[in-house]
Amino acid sequence: MLIGGVDTKPGPGHAGREWPLPGLLLLVLLLLVPASATALSMEWESSIGGPGDEGLAWLAPLPDGGLLLAGNTSTDANGGSDLLLVRTDDRGRAVRTVRHGTGPAEELASAGALLPDGGAAVVGVVKSGARPPALQILRVDARLDLLWERTYPAASGPDAAYGVAGLPDGGLLVLAGQGKGAARSLLLLRLEPDGAERWRRALVSRPGLARAGVFARLPDGGFLVAGADDRSLQHDLDLFLIRLDAGGRLLWERSYPVPGSNVLPSAMAPAPDRGVVLAGTIDGPDGLRPFATAVDPFGRTMWAWTGTPADGPVEVGAVVFAGDACLVVGSSATVRGETPRLALVELDPDGLERSRNVAPADGGAERGRAAAVLESQVVLGIEARSGWTHGTDLLLRSITMVAAPAQEASAPVTPVAGHPVESRAATIPLSAAADPGAAAPVSPLLGIGACGVAAFLIRRR
């Protein structure tokens, strides 16, 4: 599709082009409705997509200043979707694009990890017809050339992928799910550098295990796994945390029930204080609400927050640390025909809100799926759909945060029609570990609100 004489819908081989837009469309892309005085300055934006739909699963910064992303594309996929890998330069312009798949099966990426040799590992699932999903694992080198691929049997193998991490010896740890009903299990797979499976362990295996799990490496080399299950069989999904050592061995497991509510974690990131920040959605008596909580390496809550009920559920796509700030990126979910809206919240080191920003309702559908830090910039990975796109595109949008007086933040800059995105930066308003046996953990979801912490808010009409 042509806008202002420039093709805004490059195929996968031309992904990452930066393009001029008329003022109105650029304003729609940039504008975030401010809730505080902090301003966002957009440095650049690039688009990745073709005539079909593109999805984003993972985004990571590279040592050379570029980015690596994993997702999927239905463009030229013979009725299915292919796994998509894109390496970009420091302004989000694609320097190499690789796809895996022949169609008509659906190959969907779920997570990825950079490896010490400069390559990457990506996990996802393959869906083919009426067959159950099958776990798929790929390893690529620094040029994105395929080193090996492993797909497990659809009928008897793992059927969900939640996370992957590299090990010092070149092997991988993969978090996966398998089974149905009472036989549902959360699995940890240990793979050799060549993809051969060394062992697998059932971290959780009981009735009511939800297909929700997130996986993060801790600064000490260990791992924290979060998920949701109904171990009490009370039809409530409770948050649980599992701590693993650097070799994937279980250290402890804890559950955090919230009676009458379902708690689904969807994003987690290691924190500078050696713990993690965990975020997701609570479905309770007051409706669907976002939550975020900081947990130390022993499972104890440092702070916790839940949002107020909004018009619809909240999707949290990513948590990332930039300088001394914790950023939570996501969107409202579509209900009653409403359009998903990009949202971003900035927290200080104590978990206090510095700023929160929500895109306008008429700005097109944008879902914040991932985020990465490039020096002083934060790059947002967004799935976007609007009246001028064919299907869903991937946007990479680089922003910096600027401390601005409230009166200046209240007057957003209107971009000049046809001005290139890259040529101006429009300013848009917008603990120490203790002994693990010393005390019982405090639920990350109890007492929330008392800390005055905000991690993800939807501006209510």
Please tell me the predicted confidence (pLDDT) of residue 351.
Answer: 80
Comparing 375 with 386, which gets the higher pLDDT? 375
Q: Are 298 and 279 a contacting pair, CB within 8 Å?
A: no
Please tell me the predicted confidence (pLDDT) of residue 364.
Answer: 77
What global pTM score does this model have? 0.79
Please tell me the predicted confidence (pLDDT) of residue 229.
Answer: 83
242's enclosing H/E stretch is: strand 238-244
Confidence of residue 276 (pLDDT cuts 50, 70, 90): very high
Mean pLDDT of the chain: 75
Confidence of residue 436 (pLDDT cuts 50, 70, 90): very low
Please tell me the predicted confidence (pLDDT) of residue 182.
Answer: 63
Max mean pLDDT range (65-79, 348-362, 390-404): 65-79
Q: Are 454 and 327 a contacting pair, CB within 8 Å?
A: no
Sign of CA dihedral 31, 37, 41, 47: negative
Q: How many CA atoms lie within 13 A of 157 on its CB side?
A: 16
Please tell me the predicted confidence (pLDDT) of residue 335.
Answer: 54
User: What length is written for the chain?
Assistant: 461
Q: Which long-range contacts (CB under 8 A, 24 or more apart) does 231-236 make?
A: 231/206, 231/207, 231/255, 232/257, 233/207, 233/208, 234/259, 236/260, 236/261, 236/262
CA dist 243 → 229, 300, 302 (Å): 16, 12, 17
188's enclosing H/E stretch is: strand 185-191
Of the given ranges (200-209, 263-272, 390-399, 437-446), which has the lowest mean pLDDT? 437-446
Confidence of residue 274 (pLDDT cuts 50, 70, 90): confident
Structural domain spans, the chain: 2-405+422-428
Comparing 448 with 101, which gets the higher pLDDT? 101
Interval 441-448 mean pLDDT: 47
Residues 27-70 have pLDDT tens digits of 333 345 545 556 678 899 999 888 888 999 999 999 999 999 99
Report the alpha-carbon distance of residue 392 to residue 153 in Å, rounded: 30
The dihedral over CA atoms of 55, 149, 125, 211, expressed in degrees to the nearest 10, equals: -110
- Is the pLDDT at 133 greater than 50? The verdict is yes
Please tell me the predicted confidence (pLDDT) of residue 90.
Answer: 93
Please return the burial class of 429, using the count of CB atoms within 10 Å of its CB with bins 0-12, 13-18 and 19+.
buried
Comparing 453 with 161, which gets the higher pLDDT? 161
Classify 2-405+422-428 by CATH class: mainly beta
Please tell me the predicted confidence (pLDDT) of residue 422.
Answer: 28
Residues 224-248 have pLDDT tens digits of 999 888 766 667 888 999 999 988 8
DSSP structure class, residue 23: H
Please tell me the predicted confidence (pLDDT) of residue 269.
Answer: 92
Max mean pLDDT range (92-106, 109-123, 267-281, 285-299): 109-123
- Is the pLDDT at 434 greater than 50? The verdict is no
Confidence of residue 342 (pLDDT cuts 50, 70, 90): confident
331's enclosing H/E stretch is: strand 325-332
Please tell me the predicted confidence (pLDDT) of residue 145.
Answer: 96
- Is the pLDDT at 14 greater than 90? The verdict is no
Which pair of tokens denotes residue 185? 């299990």
Q: Are 247 and 198 a contacting pair, CB within 8 Å?
A: no
Comparing 215 with 406, which gets the higher pLDDT? 215
